[in-house]
């Protein structure tokens, strides 16, 4: 094979009967919503499996349900595929083939393989459940053909066309399924030209055959319908297309139903389909997910037909491996709980030194680190520092704390820096920024929880009863001035706090919003505490207390920010202090290497 991507070597031989250079797959989304992570699996498998065999993939919009379809969704699906690194070899629409599909139905009726029926949905369900043939099953081909022609013209409301298969089939979905139905709706591409539309079960095997598809990749939920797919191709004399079943992706505490996702949008619980709490492509990208992560994860999932409830932690762990080498390192200190350090033996003037943005990736460049007499550090670090203790100010040196003062819940430390002391092995490592009104600025850090309070959502669940009203927590941090140069979409690491995605920039208003990127771990990167319990988030369980409506920083259901009271802030500081007292080496680059 001539395929160049090294990951492809692990997946050769997956498709039955595949020939190099001749494989054709298709990704057929319905343009009724934005692509979500479930669609990503389908898109990735169809695209990359075709490329494994040096074949092609067709992006086909399955636009047979005019009630739900919008041009907006078509445009965003194309945009999302580009984001994922997927370039279709061809783009088509099922509606391009409506004339052919109409002719195929006429052939099926003339051959006696389908019939017209005007029974109610309830009557048809009862017939399928009990294996009872419809009284219309004996209609002549001529009668049925006339009704079908009237359906197309909008003159046979209430009628449908059913495939004449086997009413005793063990799979009830194959007991004379509906192949055409009346819909007096305006189509987003064809206007009011058609008054009846084919179902997916009828249109898909026809269009697949006409477009030369060799392998139809479908989730196992369609497995019971596979014989129906083959039956349509057989009775119409079409080429048989090989079906490849794969497991459907189900993630803990994640809504994938487009109807349920639409409810969140319509009821104002999210910003829109691109909300970073949404499992849409645009949503998870705003949370710091990468296309390469999704590619690796989906291809590894691909061959399996076992449907499991998957936790997010593995996906985020893959993502951490992708972003860590290219994430520049910066520092920001949480404003509400910041502690001060006053260095006794340095002048008041601010000075600067050049330091790398990443200790292990010189290509990322350098930044100017400011040094001054007054510093800001995290309260979690300051809480357990004792007078007389030696600590390490990362990128500067060791400092002996001579005095500690706590006033109105705020901690101030005084100390003397000793750059000649190079013994960093047993000291606490502290991230810090110099207090400098000219360069420091405030940023908003955002942590995101699951939108629902249930680990496994069922089709019958009413999401209105499962809403996590505290799924977004926002707080202010004071950032080093170097962060002003960040661009929207950039991923960085705030040292010892975690990875963040630059989500929003308002440079004129001096505002920046960064979304926390999970790394798949159940513990914080260091003794600096995140606002959400990452063990619960990684495991798919909303933070304890959400279902009971406990208060946190973050928006209410009306979108207003909730601020912590002084009492709650003190509780938070105590929590951070307890965590800090447990010690442990921080995971920053310098700490890991034993260097300041």
> Per-residue pLDDT tens for 343-367?
999 999 999 999 999 999 999 999 9
Among candidate residues 195, 197, 185, the one with its CA nearest the CA of residue 153: 195
pLDDT digit string (tens) for 379-391? 999 999 999 999 9
Give me the architecture of the 6-88+247-310 domain, per CATH.
Answer: 3-Layer(aba) Sandwich (3.40)
pLDDT digit string (tens) for 158-212? 999 999 999 999 999 999 999 999 999 999 899 999 999 999 999 999 999 999 9
Residue 38: its H or E element? helix 37-52
Mean pLDDT of the 446-469 span: 94
Predicted local confidence at residue 534, as pLDDT: 61
pLDDT digit string (tens) for 477-514? 999 999 999 999 999 999 999 999 999 998 666 789 99
Predicted local confidence at residue 523, as pLDDT: 64
Predicted local confidence at residue 525, as pLDDT: 58
The band of 578, judged by pLDDT with boundaries at 50, 70 and 90, is very low
Note whether 543 and 449 are within 8 A (CB): yes
Q: Using CA atoms, how far apart are residues 497 and 531, in angstroms rounded to an integer?
A: 11
Note whether 256 and 248 are within 8 A (CB): no
- Please check the confidence at residue 431 and state whether its pLDDT lies above 70: yes
Residue 424, both tokens = 């960093």
pTM reported for the whole predicted model: 0.83
SS3 36: strand
Q: Which residues, other chains included, contact 234 with Cβ-Cβ below 8 Å and sequence gap of 6+?
A: 240
pLDDT digit string (tens) for 64-75? 988 877 888 999
CATH topology of domain 333-438+589-593: Ribosomal Protein L25; Chain P (2.40.240)
- Please check the confidence at residue 253 and state whether its pLDDT lies above 60: yes
The band of 595, judged by pLDDT with boundaries at 50, 70 and 90, is very low
Residue scoring higher pLDDT (541 or 331): 331
Report the largest interatomic distance among the alpha carbons of the chain, rounded to a whole angstrom.
101
- Please check the confidence at residue 435 and state whether its pLDDT lies above 90: yes
Task: Look up tokens 């580009």; give the residue.
Answer: 82
Predicted local confidence at residue 428, as pLDDT: 95
Distances in Å between the alpha carbon of 414 and those of 31, 173, 386, 404, 575? 62, 75, 11, 6, 24
The band of 14, judged by pLDDT with boundaries at 50, 70 and 90, is confident
Candidate from 126-140, 277-291, 402-416, 556-570 with smallest mean pLDDT: 556-570
Could you state, in order of their start, the residue ranges of all structural domains in the chain?
6-88+247-310, 96-245, 333-438+589-593
CB neighbourhood size of 405 (10 A): 11
Among candidate residues 337, 330, 336, 351, the one with its CA nearest the CA of residue 382: 337
Predicted local confidence at residue 308, as pLDDT: 82
CATH number of 96-245: 3.40.50.620
The band of 16, judged by pLDDT with boundaries at 50, 70 and 90, is confident
Q: How many helices (H) and strands (E) does the chain have?
A: 15, 29
Q: Using CA atoms, how far apart are residues 22 and 19, in angstroms rounded to an integer?
A: 5
Would the CATH topology of 96-245 be identical to that of 333-438+589-593?
Answer: no
Predicted local confidence at residue 572, as pLDDT: 43
Percent of the chain with pLDDT over 70: 86
pLDDT digit string (tens) for 28-83? 999 988 999 999 999 999 999 999 999 999 999 999 988 877 888 999 999 999 99
Mean pLDDT of the 309-326 span: 95
The band of 303, judged by pLDDT with boundaries at 50, 70 and 90, is confident
Candidate from 6-10, 228-232, 316-320, 557-561 with smallest mean pLDDT: 557-561
Predicted local confidence at residue 543, as pLDDT: 54
- Please check the confidence at residue 527 and state whether its pLDDT lies above 70: no
Predicted local confidence at residue 205, as pLDDT: 98
pLDDT digit string (tens) for 384-422? 999 999 999 999 999 999 999 999 999 999 999 999 999
């Amino acid at each position: 094979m001539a395929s160049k991507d090294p990951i492809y070597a692990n997946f050769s031989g997956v498709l039955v009967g595949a020939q190099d250079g001749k494989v054709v797959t298709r990704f057929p989304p319905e343009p009724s919503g934005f692509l979500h992570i479930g669609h990503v699996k389908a898109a990735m498998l169809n695209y990359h499996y075709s490329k494994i065999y040096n074949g092609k993939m067709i992006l086909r919009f399955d636009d047979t349900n005019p009630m739900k379809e919008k041009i907006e969704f078509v445009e965003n699906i194309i945009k999302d595929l580009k984001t994922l690194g997927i370039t279709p070899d061809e783009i088509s629409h099922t509606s391009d083939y409506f004339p052919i599909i109409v002719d195929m139905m006429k052939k099926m009726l003339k051959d006696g393989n389908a019939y017209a029926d005007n029974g109610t949905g309830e009557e048809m369900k009862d017939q399928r459940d009990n294996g009872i043939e419809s009284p219309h099953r004996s209609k002549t081909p001529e009668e049925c053909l006339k009704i079908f022609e009237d359906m197309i013209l909008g003159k046979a409301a209430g009628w449908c066309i059913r495939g004449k298969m086997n009413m005793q089939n063990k799979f009830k979905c194959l007991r004379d399924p509906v192949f055409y139905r009346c819909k007096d709706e305006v189509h987003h591409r064809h206007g009011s030209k058609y008054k009846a539309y084919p179902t997916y079960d009828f249109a898909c095997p026809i269009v697949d055959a006409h477009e030369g598809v060799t392998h139809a990749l479908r989730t196992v939920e369609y497995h019971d319908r596979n014989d129906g797919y083959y039956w349509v191709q057989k009775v119409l004399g079409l080429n048989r297309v090989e079906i490849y079943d794969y497991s459907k992706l189900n993630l803990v505490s994640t809504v994938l139903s487009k109807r349920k996702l639409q409810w969140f949008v319509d009821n104002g619980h999210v910003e829109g389909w691109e909300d970073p709490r949404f499992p849409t492509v645009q949503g998870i990208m705003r949370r710091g997910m990468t296309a390469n992560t999704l590619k690796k994860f989906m291809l590894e999932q691909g061959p399996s037909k076992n449907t499991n409830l998957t936790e997010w932690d593995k996906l985020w762990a893959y993502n951490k491996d992708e972003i860590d080498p290219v994430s520049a390192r910066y520092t920001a200190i949480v404003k509400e709980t910041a502690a001060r350090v006053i260095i006794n033996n340095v002048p008041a003037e601010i000075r600067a030194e050049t330091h790398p943005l990443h200790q292990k990736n010189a290509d990322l460049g350098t930044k100017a680190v400011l040094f001054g007499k007054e510093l800001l550090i995290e309260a979690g670090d300051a809480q357990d520092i004792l007078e007389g203790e030696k600590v390490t100010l990362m990128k500067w040196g060791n400092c002996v704390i001579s005095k500690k003062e706590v006033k109105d819940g705020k901690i101030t430390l005084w100390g003397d820096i000793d750059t000649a002391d190079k013994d960093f092995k047993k000291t606490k490592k502290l991230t810090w920024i110099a207090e400098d009104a000219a360069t420091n600025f405030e940023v908003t850090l955002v942590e995101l929880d699951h939108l629902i309070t249930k680990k496994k959502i069922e089709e019958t669940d009413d999401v209105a009863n499962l809403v996590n009203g505290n799924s977004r927590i926002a707080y202010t941090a004071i950032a080093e001035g170097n962060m002003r140069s960040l661009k929207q979409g950039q991923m960085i690491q705030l040292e010892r706090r975690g990875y963040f995605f630059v989500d929003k920039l308002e440079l004129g208003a001096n505002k920046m919003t960064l979304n926390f990127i999970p790394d798949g771990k159940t513990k914080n990167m260091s003794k600096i505490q995140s606002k959400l319990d990452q063990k619960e988030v990684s495991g798919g369980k909303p933070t304890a207390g959400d279902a009971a409506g406990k208060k946190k920083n973050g928006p209410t259901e009306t979108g207003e920010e909730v601020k912590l009271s002084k009492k709650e802030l003190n509780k938070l500081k105590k929590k951070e202090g307890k965590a800090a007292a447990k010690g442990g080496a921080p995971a920053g680059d310098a700490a890991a290497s034993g260097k300041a």
